[in-house]
Amino acid sequence: MAHTVFYRGKLKKNRTPDDVFAKIIPLVKPKGVTKRWSYTIDEWKGEKRLVIDFGDSKSEHLVFCFPNDSINGSCKTSFHEHQSADAGNREFEFVLSILYTIMPMFAEFDVIDDFQAWDDFLESKRFKIKLRELTEAESKRIQALYDTGYTSYKDIIFSIIYDDLGYKPGDTVSINPKYEEKGDVIHTLYPVIATWIHDTMSYKGKIRIDQAITTDDWRYSEAAGWASFNCACGIAELLGEPLDPYLRSAPIQQLRQITKFSDERFLPLFDEEQDNYKRCVLAYRYVVSVLDYGGLQFAGRLE
């Protein structure tokens, strides 16, 4: 499947084509996404230009040329025709990333493409969290629960939490002592979700949460503890437990990203969706996306 991107703009007065080239060239490396790519610098009609060759016979070159300090180009890519869809998507997204990297150098800059990928890319830059699609296993899990009769998104998420912890519906979760509530303010959901994260997940696939938050290794202890707290707060709010106003305004960057993602990206989609099953899917996508952002992965429950 071919995907064409059109780009045009006018350089700022204090920027030159060489400035743009200097930004782009270090991005084209002989490894990773760009391992097949190469670049040349030549002249066309008296103008210096940078040409990126994607290393396949069907894609056009990505050309940067600035007559009168302006650019007006297009590039038809065919990344998906010689590799997997995921690999093709990564290559095309890197093209968009290059355009995004040079965008601040322009007084005017516009990008248009066949499938509005640029708009989606810009949207993803507003948030550090991406509302990702479910994996095949996750999709089957939620479909099975829905078919069994769990038609409320809250019931489905709780069923997943209970199952991961080894409980049956209706059982009382044994709260990990670290998350037992004391004092006048009692949260009913946060301790359950925090226990779920603590007892079943790892931090970035390197160390289990129960070990990470007690280790003397500062690389894990503080980061894993905050990730667990922030993600548990975000998921608890989805399930009906409002976040304390103090926490919502607190200077906790990761938690602010989660609340911003929920308020501005997720909830508008969720509130607009009328189909009950699709709402359940959206809710589960939110949960796994927040966990991904926190670097939390299911690792099996503690024995």
Bridge partners (DSSP) listed for residue 207? 203
Q: What is the pLDDT of residues 213-262, one digit of tens each?
A: 888 776 677 888 899 999 999 999 999 998 888 888 778 889 989 998 99
Q: Given 126, 145, 179, which residue is the final one in a domain?
A: 126
DSSP string, 163-205: HHHTPPTTPPP---GGG---SS---SSHHHHHHHHHHHEEETT
Give the range of the structural domain holding residue 225, as residue numbers without chain letter: 136-298
Q: Is residue 84 one of the residues assigned to a domain?
A: yes
Q: Return the pLDDT at 20.
A: 97
65 and 145: one domain?
no
Q: What is the DSSP-derived secondary structure letter of residue 57? A: S
How far is Cα 49 from Cα 29, in angstroms, rounded to an integer? 19
50 and 183: one domain?
no
Tokens of 72: 């007006």
Q: Return the pLDDT at 269.
A: 93
How far is Cα 267 from Cα 136, in angstroms, rounded to an integer? 24
Q: Return the pLDDT at 151.
A: 94
SS3 7: strand
* Burial environment of residue 52 by CB neighbours within 10 A (0 to 12, 13 to 18, 19 or more): buried
How far is Cα 39 from Cα 25, in angstroms, rounded to an integer? 8
**240: amino acid identity, one letter:** G
DSSP string, 267-283: HHHHHH---HHHHHHHH
Q: Return the pLDDT at 171.
A: 86
- How many other CB atoms sit within 10 Å of the CB of residue 157? 22
Q: Is residue 303 one of the residues assigned to a domain?
A: no
Residues of the chain with pLDDT below 70 are 1, 82, 181-187, 218-219, 303
Q: Which residues contact 141 (CB under 8 A, 6 or more apart)?
A: 160
CB 23 within 8 A of CB 64: no
Bridge partners (DSSP) listed for residue 203? 207, 296
28 and 89: one domain?
yes
Q: Return the pLDDT at 36.
A: 94
28 and 96: one domain?
yes
95 and 143: one domain?
no
SS (H, E, C) 215-260: CCCHHHHHHHHHHHHHHHHHHHHHCCCCCCHHHHHCCCHHHHHHHH
Q: Return the pLDDT at 182.
A: 53
Q: Given 126, 153, 168, which residue is the final one in a domain?
A: 126
How far is Cα 135 from Cα 121, in angstroms, rounded to an integer? 21
pTM reported for the whole predicted model: 0.65
Bridge partners (DSSP) listed for residue 49? 42, 65
Q: What is the DSSP-derived secondary structure letter of residue 2? A: -
CA nearest neighbour of 21 among 44, 5, 39, 6: 39
Q: Is residue 232 one of the residues assigned to a domain?
A: yes
How far is Cα 131 from Cα 30, in angstroms, rounded to an integer? 30
CB 260 within 8 A of CB 127: yes
Domain count for the chain, please give it: 2
Q: Return the pLDDT at 214.
A: 82
